[in-house]
Structure 1
């Protein structure tokens, strides 16, 4: 399974997957409920920067994450600036981006296997209600890793097009991106079948 895990020895890498997931979830929720003000935009950006600095992932990786979200930024800001004041549009967009890049720290610092184990343990209490923790944990792990993986695939398609000198445009981008996305989905389906899930 393709992931964005970055090997490291920082405290966030060493933290158990369960508490780390819960802690990052709290940070994401805190950023998400900030009001739509200039101060909130600054706080959201500062939280993202601090999280990447103290986790030893670093500013270079934060920059990569933000660049990979550029279309989300454009669409989110573009739609909001039409209907909302500039302050609200900037604050909302900053909060969305900050929440996504902070959430990405989970997959950057945790192996997928560790995530699966943590989700299975956390969902074990629902086994008495007929819930299969293994299946739910796998679905959650796939969901967590899919968005950043698709963002990386999109960057790869763009870079390949630039290297070939291809004309850049929405139509020229969408078809190759769909092909690599479907290939990823096919590989993921094979991996799930190998685990006896599909």
Structure 2
């Protein structure tokens, strides 16, 4: 299972998972309530960049996060431009980008084990609804760790398609991508079953 975690000794890495989650949630909330104006767009970018200039995170990680969500940003910008115009569309898209990328600092700077423990503790109050906190935490962790795997598989299929002269054909991309994605899902299911997860 691939993890987003990048080892380090910077402030984000040293901060305990609970307070770190609270700080990042407050930053994301603050970015989300900024106005849909050029000023709001500039502040969103500045806050996001500031979070990644802290030692241990780095601008390379910031750029990697933005590249990962590039299609979400394109779709968001297209819709926002239609309904809110240039200023509002740009500001809203940059706010979405900043919120997603800042929240990405949590899995980047926190080992999966610590994230699982935190999620399990946070979900314990829901046990009276017959929700198994351990299973729910594992489901969330598996989802978070599977997304980068699917992104990597997409890049590999695109590269193979380009090498074989397939161009950018969506038809020639979808079937191979579905095959490798389903193979990964099958392997993940077997691994979880082998560990007693049902």
- CA separation of 1:84 and 1:184: change in aligned 2, threshold 3 A: same
- CA separation of 1:19 and 1:164: change in aligned 2, threshold 3 A: farther
Distance (Å, rounded) in 2 between the aligned partners of 1:152 and 1:94: 24
Correspondence for 2:94: 94
Q: How far apart are 1:66 and its partner, in Å?
A: 0.9
Task: Tell me which moved more, 155-164 or 22-31.
Answer: 155-164
| RMSD of aligned residue pairs (Cα, Å) | 2.2
Q: How far apart are 1:119 and its partner, in Å?
A: 1.4
- CA separation of 1:31 and 1:187: change in aligned 2, threshold 3 A: farther
1:83-123 Cα offsets, whole Å, 9 max, x none, are 22111110111111111111111111112111111112233
Task: Tell me which moved more, 41-50 or 21-30.
Answer: 21-30
Correspondence for 2:197: 197
Task: Tell me which moved more, 89-98 or 170-179.
Answer: 170-179
Distance (Å, rounded) in 2 between the aligned partners of 1:22 and 1:141: 18
Distance (Å, rounded) in 1 between the aligned partners of 2:155 and 2:182: 16
Task: Tell me which moved more, 151-160 or 1-10.
Answer: 151-160
Q: Secondary structure at the match of 1:85?
A: helix
Q: How far apart are 1:124 and its partner, in Å?
A: 3.0
Are the aligned partners of 2:2 and 2:148 in contact in 1 as well (CA < 8 Å)? no
Q: TM-score by structure 2 length?
A: 0.87
Q: TM-score by structure 1 length?
A: 0.87
Are the aligned partners of 1:65 and 1:101 in contact in 2 as well (CA < 8 Å)? yes
- What stretches of structure 2 of length at least 5 have no aligned partner? none
Correspondence for 1:158: 158
Matches within 5 A, 1:31-46: 31-46=31-46
- CA separation of 1:162 and 1:63: change in aligned 2, threshold 3 A: farther
- What stretches of structure 1 of length at least 5 have no aligned partner? none
Distance (Å, rounded) in 2 between the aligned partners of 1:157 and 1:89: 32
Distance (Å, rounded) in 2 between the aligned partners of 1:61 and 1:151: 15
Distance (Å, rounded) in 2 between the aligned partners of 1:95 and 1:46: 11
Paired residues, number: 198
